[in-house]
């Protein structure tokens, strides 16, 4: 399913893509990881978008890609990255977001003012219309808290 086929109010989460190696995994293998200890309340999002850090040279400090979340699994880091068995966090649990096709946003969302970003809960509609990262934040409400607080690890997010 393409992002254009989803409703505008579909919960979305902007996540950090800190290294080019993470981008390669995202593009080639179709998944993204978040340490469970650092997982945001918005982990229940149905769409993930990716904020590119300074490691991405000319594309840095922008959001350019998004994908539908197909499933979220809880796995040990060593299962996700078997080539790093001696990593200090190899035994830690991670949320593994299995994604649909990675899509390029119609317009890159730039961060015109340097911000320290971890995760940004938003909606698909905001992702498709925003031109600046500041436009992605939304006012919180009790209903939004229910959506973002849902614990969906291990369940498929497809309807």
Q: Where are the domains of the chain?
A: 3-149
pTM of the model: 0.82
Q: Does 3.40.1400 match the CATH number of domain 3-149?
A: no
Q: Alpha carbon of 117 to those of 1, 6, 14, 61: distances in Å?
A: 28, 26, 9, 10
**Which positions ≥6 away from 53 have C-beta within 8 Å?**
16, 17, 18, 19, 60, 61
- Pull the structure tokens for residue 102: 């990675």
Q: pLDDT per position in the chain (159 positions), as tens?
A: 688 899 999 999 999 999 999 999 999 999 999 999 988 876 789 999 999 998 998 889 999 999 999 999 999 999 999 999 999 999 999 999 999 999 999 999 998 876 677 899 999 999 999 999 989 976 444 444 444 344 443 433 333
Are 58 and 75 a contacting pair, CB within 8 Å? Answer: no
Strands 47-52 and 11-17, by their bridges, are parallel
């Amino acid at each position: 399913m393409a992002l254009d086929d989803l409703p505008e109010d579909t919960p979305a989460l902007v996540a950090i893509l800190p290294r080019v190696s993470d981008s390669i995994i995202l593009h080639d293998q179709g998944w993204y990881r978040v340490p469970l200890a650092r997982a945001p309340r918005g982990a229940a999002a149905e769409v993930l978008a990716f904020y590119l850090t300074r490691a991405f040279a000319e594309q840095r400090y922008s959001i350019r890609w998004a994908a539908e979340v197909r499933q979220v699994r809880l796995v040990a880091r060593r299962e996700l990255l078997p080539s790093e068995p001696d990593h200090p966090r190899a035994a830690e649990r991670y949320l593994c977001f299995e994604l649909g096709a990675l899509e390029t946003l119609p317009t890159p969302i730039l961060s015109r003012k340097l911000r320290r970003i971890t995760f940004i809960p938003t909606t698909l509609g905001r992702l498709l219309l925003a031109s600046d990262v500041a436009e992605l934040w939304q006012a919180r409400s009790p209903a939004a808290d229910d959506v973002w607080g849902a614990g969906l690890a291990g369940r498929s997010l497809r309807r």
